[in-house]
Amino acid sequence: MITVVHVVVAGEVGGAERMLVDLARADGPRVVRHVVALATPSERLRGVLAAAGLDVVDRGPVREGPLTYLVRSLGPGDVRWLEGVVRGRRADVVHVHTFGSQVLGTRAALRASARVVRTEHSTRVYDDPSCWPFARWSLGHADAAVAISEAVRRRALERAPWAKEKICVVPNGVDMTRFAETPLPPGDGPLRLLALGRLDRRKGLDVAIAAIARVPGVALEIVGDGGERRTLERLSRERGVGDRVIFAGFAADPRPAILRAHALLSSARAEGLGIALLEGMAMGRPVVALPTGGVPELVRDGETGWLAYGNDETALVRALETALRERSSLAERGARATELVRARYDLRTMRDGYARVYAEVAGRASAGFSGCPGSGS
C-alpha cells in the first residue's frame, strides 16, 4: 500500500480542501493510505476534515499572513514538524495542494526522501509574480504535477514549458451517489441562480451582482464565506438588489441550496475547473457562466448551460437574458450536464487517476502505464 501525506496549509474551506476530502475518504481505493498534515487557523476546516473521518496530524492553531508564510516555508520549525510526520508515517509521497503548502511540503519531502506530487487547483501561482519564484522552485523538485483541467495545464506550460513531461490532467470528480440528479424546483417566479464557493475577488461575484441588477426576473443565492462578504453585501444594497441577492453563508453540505436553484452561476475572474459547478451539474442543474479558465470544458453553450461570449459584466447580462428567454430548456440542459459529469467527472475516475500517479512516482506502477509523469499527457 502506498502512503500519501497531504500537506494542507489553508485558512478556509475551498474547492481544494473539498476535493481532498473526497479523494482521501476511507471509501476510496484500498491501494492508497491517506494522511493529512494540517496547519490552519480555521476551526471550520478542522471540523470538515474531522467530519469526513480523515487521518489528520494537526500542527495546532497557526497564524496567516505574508510574514508567517515566509517563516513557515523557509524556517526550521514547521519543516522539522512535517518531516517528522512524513518519516513517522513512512510516507512514500508528499502531496501539496495550494501555494501555502508548496515550499514547506517540498522541503520536508526532500529531507525525508519522499516523492512529491502537486495538484494545480488554479492558475494563481502562475499568474501572481509574488508567488511564482516559490512555486517554481517547488515545481522543479516535484515528481508529478496534476492539473485539474486542460486550461490549468495550458497556463502552467506557458509559464513553465520545461515541466511538460511532469504535468498531466486529472479532473476533479463528484460522488454521483451523493450528488444525485433531482427534479428542478417549480418554474414560476424568478429564475433562481446559485453561486457556491469562497467569497474572494477571483470569484467575480461583484460582476454577478452588477449583472443581476440589470436583469429583472433573476435572483441569486450566494453560499459561502470569505473576506469579500461585507463588500459584496454593500454592493448589492447600492445596486438595489438586496431583495434578489441572498447571502446564505457557509454550508458544509451544498445539496439543499442546489435543490432550491434552477441553475448555477459562475462569474469567476479565474477558475481552474469549479468543483461546485460539477456538483450542481451532477444534480441536474445547468450553468450560466463566463468563459473563464476550465469552465468552458464543463459549460457548453446550448448543451449544458449558457456560456457568455466575453468575460465582462455586459457579456454576463446577455447570457442571463438568454437563459431567461430559454428557461423552458432548463431541464434538458440540466440532464445533459448530468450526463457529462457521469461520463468524465465521476469521483471514481478522479481517485483512480491519482492512484496511478502515486504508483508511478513511487515506482510501483504496472507495466504499460502511460499517465504522468513522463507522458506529457
pLDDT (0 to 100) of residue 377? 43
- Measure the CA–CA gap between 231 and 54, rounded to whole angstroms: 35
Say whether 226 sits in a helix, a strand or coil: coil
Q: Of the candidates 239, 238, 236, 345, which has an alpha carbon nearest to the alpha carbon of residue 248?
A: 236
Stretch 64-86: mean pLDDT: 90
Provide the residue ranges of all domains of the chain, joining segments of one domain with +. Answer: 2-173+346-361, 191-344
Per-residue model confidence as pLDDT tens digits over 307-336? 999 999 999 999 999 999 999 999 999 999
157 — pLDDT class (breaks 50, 70, 90): very high
Cα dist from 308 to 94, 284, 295, 315, whole Å: 39, 20, 11, 6
CA distance 140 to 163: 8
Give the H/E segment covering residue 246.
Answer: strand 245-249
Mean pLDDT of the chain: 92
Q: Any idea what DSSP says for residue 90?
A: T
Amino acid at site 292: T
Topology of domain 2-173+346-361 in CATH is: Rossmann fold (3.40.50)
Mean pLDDT along residues 95-118 = 96
E strand spans, 21-131 = 32-40, 56-61, 93-96, 115-120
Give the torsion through C-alpha atoms of 331, 333, 339, 340, to 10 deg. -150
Q: Is the peptide bond before 373 cis (omega within 30 degrees of 0)?
A: yes
Cell matching residue 258: 442546489
Write the single-letter amino acid at 140.
Answer: G
**Is the pLDDT assigned to residue 91 strictly greater than 70?**
yes
Q: What is the mean pLDDT of residues 214-236?
A: 95
The whole-number average pLDDT for the span 120-133 is 94
* CATH match of 191-344 with 3.40.50.2000: yes
Does residue 300 contact residue 307 with C-beta atoms inside 8 Å? yes
pLDDT at 162: 97
How far is CA 125 from its chain centroid?
Answer: 14
The dihedrals phi and psi of 145, each to the nearest 5 degrees, come to: -130, 125
**Whole-number Å distance between alpha carbons of 197 and 214:** 23
Q: What percent of the chain has pLDDT over 90?
A: 83
Three-state DSSP class for residue 210: helix
User: Could you give the CA distance from residue 289 to residue 204 in angstroms, rounded to a whole number?
Assistant: 11
Query: pLDDT category, 366, cuts 50, 70, 90?
Result: low
Q: Is the pLDDT of residue 372 over 70?
A: no
- Grid look-up 501572481 returns 128
Quick check: 37 pLDDT over 70?
Answer: yes
Q: What value does the CA radius of gyration of the chain take, rounded to a whole number of Å?
A: 21
- Asked if the model's pLDDT at residue 360 lies above 70, the reply is yes
More confident residue, 184 or 368: 184
Identify the band that residue 365 occupies on the pLDDT scale cut at 50, 70 and 90: low
Backbone φ, ψ for residue 289 (5° rounding): -150, 150
Domains 2-173+346-361 and 191-344 share a fold: yes
> Could you tell me the pLDDT band of residue 30, with boundaries at 50, 70 and 90?
confident
pLDDT at 3: 96
pLDDT in tens, 4-19: 999 999 878 888 999 9
> What's the pLDDT tens digit per position in 280-307?
999 999 999 999 999 999 999 999 999 9
The larger pLDDT score, comparing residue 238 to residue 370, is at 238
Q: Choose among 71, 170, 54: nearest CA to 119.
A: 170
List 223's β-bridge partners, or say none: 196, 249
Residue 327 contacts residue 305 (beta carbons within 8 Å): no
Task: Tell me the C-alpha distance between 337 and 301, whole Å.
Answer: 11
Q: Find cell 508528499 and name the residue.
A: 94
Closest CA to 104 of 140, 122, 127, 77: 77
Residue 177: how many other CB atoms lie within 10 Å:
9
- 3-state DSSP of 255-273: HHHHHHCCEEEECCCCCCC
Residues 166-207 have pLDDT tens digits of 999 999 999 999 999 999 998 889 999 999 988 989 899 999
